[in-house]
Structure 1
Amino acid sequence: MGALQLDGEGILLDEVESLKKLKVLGITMSSETALRRFCQSQRLAAAGHWLQIEGCRGLASLNIPFTCCLGKNMQNMIMILLHAMHDLEEVMIGGDLHVLNALSCLEYLRLLALPKAKIIWKNRCLVNLCVLEIKDCSVIDRLLKLEDHETNSTETIATFPRLTKIVLRKLPELESLSDRDRVRAFPSLKTMEARNCPKLKKLTLVAENLTEIKYDKEWRDELDWSDERTLSFQKLLK
């Protein structure tokens, strides 16, 4: 098992790749060059279990699964964390049709301190995701934006079938958990946390197994209780 923090041009990856007994790797990287080098190595991608990407100055868009050869090789990845990426404007989930079966073991996706980024959900992937955590993202107005051509405007969409926990904190522009009239269904969701999300007035989602909502008292008082879906979750807001 190895843990590595990497910035610059990623030269140390050559040394890591040469380790004969490398089986489990946790890695933090802060440059696009290092990320691409990591993604292009079949051995490193296969050993990767925890991946943290931070900084990466100049990187404006990122696909998950990744387009730069990572997807098909990364079958053991458990957690991906994007942190403090101040130039990142778009996180696209399922943007590469060639790697939709990638990241089949991914259970945790954490998006923290991404002040410019929006999340676009393009295709059904990350089917084993268990925890989605989004914190300190200043411009996100919808939980996951949908590509307009993907679905009918009034369709209920089953998203992340095994997701059990959603954490939403410090999202000042978040207004909806769905996208326009398209309602999201989370069939396995049990716990949701919403704190410092002042514009979120309605709970527009389907979550039949939800048992707990953690929240700020002030937020509960501001919810739109005339909305039927929101009212259906009232008993969980105690």
Structure 2
Amino acid sequence: MMPVPRTLTVSLSVMRSTSCRVQCVRSFAARGGRGDGTTPGTNLIVGRGDETVEPGAGRHDLVITTRRPRGRASASVPLTDEEYVLVAGRTWGERVGRHPAADDLCTVLRDVPLVAYAEDLPIARRYWRTVFGKPLTARAALTVPDLHAVVAALTAGSGYSVLPRSLCEQHLTAGTLTLLHDPEEPPLNTLFLVQRPGADTNPDVTRVGEALRGAARGW
């Protein structure tokens, strides 16, 4: 009788306020991971996480989050830093650049639709507070499920937003997105890789964690 191949499942949750879900999948696939269960190895389940990461939650083996969990029960390490940029679709970027008050960007953007992934605008509010030194008073004209949908909306002409540079770099290079502001010290956001207590009993959790830490150096 042929032995049954060992296939372990690793559940990885990526907070939707980050841009690295695609990078995670690519990094895992490049190291031989399979998600369809047809070959021996590891099944990686990548989900969108909105929950607060707390010790003992037990829902996911690994979580990539913008918040380090309280206490010492869950092991966590800094993974990478994301740089935030203020961008708009090409047409809106041209309009902002031609505006008579273009030097007063905050005023000009009052007439431009704001696109966000959450109604409370966490990324945009932080950008305004850090870069402009004032609170953001605008409300989202369009709210979409995640940052990738924000990019799609902007490239389709919906308005402006604040995004991780890694997520929109190719669009900035191609000209489908326009950089509206280039501060000397752009806001940074540290991402943490958190491991659920007891998850190290699954050796593939360790393998995936090590692969992500190595790959994150190039994100």
TM-score class, shorter: under 0.3
Question: Which has the greater radius of gyration?
Answer: 2
TM-score (norm 1): 0.20
Structure number having the greater helix percentage: 2
